[in-house]
Every structure is written in C-alpha cells, then in structure tokens.
Chain A
Amino acid sequence: MENITPFTWRRLKNRYNLVGKKCTNCSSVFFSPRMICSYCNPPMETTDFKFSGNGEVVSYSLVNVPPEEHSALAPYVIAIIKLKEGAKLTAQIVDCNEKDVRIGMPVEAIFRKITEDSTGLISYGFKFRPLLNGKN
C-alpha cells in the first residue's frame, strides 16, 4: 500500500504497547482487537487490556520469501507466540538465529521497525527476542 498513514496510526497503541482487549463479562483476553467477545452470548463488549510482553513460542518458521514490504529484512523468523495472559499473536523473533529458537522458548516483547511505506512513513511495533532483561 502506498500511503498507510491512517491504517498504521489506528493500531499504534496495540503495536507499541501490546494493548489488546478483554471481555467486560467473562474476562477472556484477545490480542488482535475485537469489539465484542467471541465467547459470550449475548454479545458482550470488550475493553482495552495491556499485555505484559512476556510469552512463549508456540511455533515458528524462517521466512526466505518475504512479502514485498519486508524484503529488506529477509530472511527472518516469524512465530506464533502465546502471551503470558493467554492470548496469542504473530510476530517476528529477532536478535538470534533460527537454530536458537525452539517451541516453548520464553520470549519478551521489544520495539522495532516493522515496515516502511513508499512515502517513507515508518511503522513501528512489537517484535520478540529471547528473554534478555525479563523485567515484566
């Protein structure tokens, strides 16, 4: 996409600060934000919930053929990470080699460049690395 300003801005706090959603009724947590709980009947509203950034690797893969927007960084490790609080998300794992990653490995969220559009606008957000400071 050429100009992704509103698209990237809309999810700033989600990407920067790992803010997801929590159901106001049943306490289920979701990382990818959704307006209503997937489980409650009748539909119940969700509210902002900040995740700590600690999690573990559920699965991962070294991506050699990237989508255009990520071609500068390839190859990189992509992973599905289960956050300590229960929800899962998809993110890159950096600052290590693929062979160092394993299913179950504890990881922590960090702040990195995700992508840049053709106007030069940079989208920042979460990536993960093997536990370094473990302060959360």
Chain B
Amino acid sequence: MGNTVGIVGYGAYIPPYRIKVEEIAKVWNKDPEQIKRGLDIEEKSVPSLDEDTITISVEAARNAVYHAGVDAREIEAIFAGSESHPYAVKPTAVVVGEAIGGTVNSTAADTEFACKAGTVAVQMCMGMVKSRMIKYGLAIGADTSQSMPGDALEFTASAGGAAFIIGRDNMVAEIEDTYSFTTDTADFWRRNLHEFPRHGARFTGEPAYFKHVISAARGLFSKTGRSAGYFDYAVFHQPNGKFPVKAAKDLGIPVEKLRQGMLVGKLGNTYSGASMLGLASVLDVAKAGERILVVSYGSGAGSDAFSIKVLHDIEKKRDRIIPVKNYLDRKFYIDYATYARHMGKLKVVS
C-alpha cells in the first residue's frame, strides 16, 4: 500500500441567486455580447444576504462529511481558504468545526493565497495525514468575492465553495502527488482595510496566470514522470472561460478533457472555490481508474498542481454524493440593484 493519501469525501455549495452578464453590462453601458464572447461567461452566482464564506464553507463541509461517511470527531485538522473570510481575526475554520459536530481535539486555521487558498489547505492536510499526525483533515476553499462596481471583474467575481476530507483510509480518490510553483508577482491584490481588490489588467495574463499554471503543470509532469496524456480530466483555475482553454492548449491537453470541470460559464469565478468546485464536478462523474489533473492559481502568485487517481471505492459512496449540479441548476435571477444590495455595494454617503 505504501504511504498513500487521498480524498475520503467531498462536498460543494453554490448560493441560489444568479445575475446575467446583460444585467451588469446595461448599468455600465457595455456591450453584453462582447463581454460574453471575451470572457466566455453567461452569468454568475450571488450569495443571499444571510450567506457568507462561513455559511458556504459549512454546507460544503457538511456535504463532505456526509459523503465521506466518517465520524466528524475524527477530523483533527480543519483549514479554510478564502479571500473573503467574514472576520479578519476569528477563523472560518472554527465555525465549520463546530457546525459539523467536530471535536475540540483538533487544530484549525484559515489560509489566504487569493484563489488558491483552498488547494493550499489540501496540501497542508496531505502533509499532516502522510506524517500520521492526523487521521482525517478537512480542507475548504470558498469565497463571496467582492469586485469594484464598473470594473471588469464585476462580470466574473462570484460565490461558492467546496470541501475535501483528506485521509489515508476509505478514500474515493488518491492524490498521487502535488507540486507548487510560487513567486512574488503582483497581478491582483487588496490592502488590508481596502474594500475592493485592484489588478494589473493584461498583466494578469502571461506573467501571472499562465506562467504559474503552466509551470506548475510542467513541474508536476517532471516530478511524477508523467505527461499530459496521462490524464482523463483537467481542471484549471477558471477566472473566465478563456484562460483555462489556452492553458490546456499550451500543455497539449484536448479541450474536451476540460469540459466536466469548467463551471465558470454559468457560475462565474468562485475564487478559492474555483478549482475545487471544478474537481468536485469531475469526481461527480469520474470512474475508477480515471486520472485528474488539477492546477489552481492564486494571485500574488502561485499554482498548486495535483495528480489524482480515482479509486474503485468511489462507487461505494456514489449514492452519498450531493452533486455540484444540484446547486448549479438551482437558481433565481436577480437584477443589478438587488445584486448591489446583496454584495453590500450600496453605501450611505454623508
């Protein structure tokens, strides 16, 4: 057997509201068709007024525990990754721990690394499981990303999250290896007390997303001795519908392999939830023996690449999966005014 580690269970959550590109475009006098073509996105998710990164993380985590079929009290580490934690001080992870009926005999913390905060949490759990410090770890990536009114990101920044229970027993998929590529690159950032992030526009492409995603994928191939052809599915971080397609092309991955894990068109960019929700969507249908490449990207910047092999036991728990589709297909459309109210963009100016 060896010292394997993998995914014991997973869960997802997407809030119920959606706003279409047309709704946002008309407020700013932009051409919606141009936006849709340019970003390959139709609509994005919007959280309810009583939802936040914590509530999203809780539901995803509860679904993960249910799917995994483990006793939550055996989860000894919880790491919650987001760039929209409700508190600057008081971790999302502890609320999740309480809400899943977890144990006081555990460690917990929040992580931040823009959109890859969740996959970093996965790596942390992997380390603690492999070193036999813990039996199960829970890694969450969730966001209710904020965007400046009128900015291009307003068309894509959305809300959602996924949770993965990492362990060495009762796995549904093995994480064969992981490789990360990290530099100091300011493509997208937000100062501490500032409300909205800023970004480098076109600078977020080549020197940022592509450099790190491609390097991480290639680094993983090199480390594992595998190539792109090894994988049946590929999930990339998806800030829009175009970037992952280009990354796949650059790596020689046929675009069909992206399809199952590409949710951005109807979901938007769920930031820390993005690649993890993409992975969840793939696992919802993947069969034993199939292999999944996951490459996340977090501005600042870095990418985490994972080589995942689906195990036979995924069928044992198939009926306990609450598929991403359940949440993706459940939607209520809202207009821009309602959206602005939900995202706290309406302020009193005195």
Contact = CB atoms under 8 A, between A and B. Distances in A.
Do chains A and B directly touch (beta carbons under 8 Å) in the complex? yes
Interface of A: 12-13, 16-17, 72-73, 92, 94-95, 110-114, 122, 124, 127, 132-133, 135
Interface in B34-60: 48-52, 54-55, 58-59
Contact of A16 (B48, B51, B63, B99): B99
Contact of A124 (B49, B95, B320, B326): B95
B330 A124 contact: no
Contacts of A13: 98
B91 interface: no
A111 B326 CA distance: 17
Given A72-B49, A113-B50, A113-B52, A132 B99 contact: no
A110 B58 CA distance: 9
B16 A113 contact: no
Nearest to B86: A122
A95 B98 CA distance: 24
B113 interface: no
Given A16-B98, A95-B48, A135 B59 contact: no
B66 interface: yes
19 contacts: A16-B98, A17-B98, A72-B49, A73-B50, A94-B50, A95-B330, A111-B62, A111-B99, A112-B50, A112-B51, A113-B50, A122-B54, A124-B54, A124-B55, A124-B58, A124-B95, A127-B50, A133-B322, A135-B322
B99 A17 contact: yes
B51 A17 contact: no
Interface string B74-118: 000000000000110000000100110100000000000000000
B209 to A, nearest CB: 33
Q: Which of B49, B52, B320, B332 has the most CB of A within 10 A?
A: B49
Contacts of B48: 94-95, 112
Contacts of A73: 49-50
Nearest to B320: A135
A133 to B, nearest CB: 5
Contacts, number: 51
A12 B49 contact: no
Q: Which of B98, B99, B332 has the most CB of A within 10 A?
A: B99
A73 B226 CA distance: 52
A133 B51 contact: no
Which range contains the number of B residues in contact with the other chain?
A: 20 to 34
A132 B325 CA distance: 12
Contacts of A113: 50-52, 54-55
Contacts of B52: 113, 122
Contacts of B322: 133, 135
Contacts of A111: 55, 58-59, 62, 99
Interface in B314-350: 320, 322, 326, 330, 332
A2 B101 CA distance: 29
Interface string B290-331: 000000000000000000000000000000101000100010
B95 to A, nearest CB: 6
B139 to A, nearest CB: 19
A95 B62 CA distance: 18
B36 to A, nearest CB: 27
Nearest to A136: B66
Contacts of A132: 326, 330
B345 to A, nearest CB: 14
Contact of B16 (A72, A95, A135): A95
A13 B103 CA distance: 12
Contacts of A17: 98-99, 101
Nearest to B96: A111
A133 B98 contact: no
Nearest to A50: B101
Contacts of B101: 17
Nearest to A135: B66
Contacts of B49: 72-73
Nearest to A113: B50
Nearest to A12: B98
Cβ-closest 7 pairs across A and B: A111-B58, A112-B50, A113-B50, A16-B99, A95-B16, A133-B322, A73-B49
Contacts of B50: 73, 92, 94, 112-114, 127
A57 to B, nearest CB: 19
A7 B149 CA distance: 38
Contacts of A135: 66, 320, 322
B157 to A, nearest CB: 20
